[in-house]
Amino acid sequence: QVVFALNQTLLQQESLRAGSFQIPYTTEDLIKHYNCGDLSSIIFNHDTSQVPNFINAMLPAHERITAQEIDRYFRQELIYKRNQRMGRRVKDLLEEYPDKSFFFAFGAG
């Protein structure tokens, strides 16, 4: 899976450099939608997340399965488990210091 992920990443980077693949959004697009409170916009869908996306229709069936397994793993580790850790830390701070005020900021990713 690691070799597959590295190869797919390299192929995507080569396509970007060659101009045959373009990112469907820019950092400015993300900032604009965030500032406008447009968090339900299509710009924040699966394709724009910080989780690498190796799934595409051009892959043979066995490679598509590998890509889906990697996608599930990244989402579990980089998003869901991260959110659980952050939630526990926030809860612990609030319980440990009930008389203090806190400010927590979370990204849209």
Statement: residue 46 has pLDDT above 60 = no
pLDDT in tens, 25-43: 677 777 787 788 765 555 5
Residue 105 lies in a domain: no
CB 69 within 8 A of CB 52: no
Residue 34 lies in a domain: yes
Residue 28 confidence (pLDDT): 78
Residue 109 lies in a domain: no
CB 30 within 8 A of CB 47: no
Residue 94 confidence (pLDDT): 97
Residue 66 lies in a domain: yes
CB 21 within 8 A of CB 12: yes
Counted domains in the chain: 1
CB 43 within 8 A of CB 33: yes
Residue 48 confidence (pLDDT): 46
What pTM was computed for the model? 0.49
| Residues of the domain holding 90 | 1-96
Residue 51 lies in a domain: yes
DSSP one-letter string for 56-106: -TTS-HHHHHHHHHHHHHHIIIIIIHHHHHHHHHHHHHHHH-TTS------
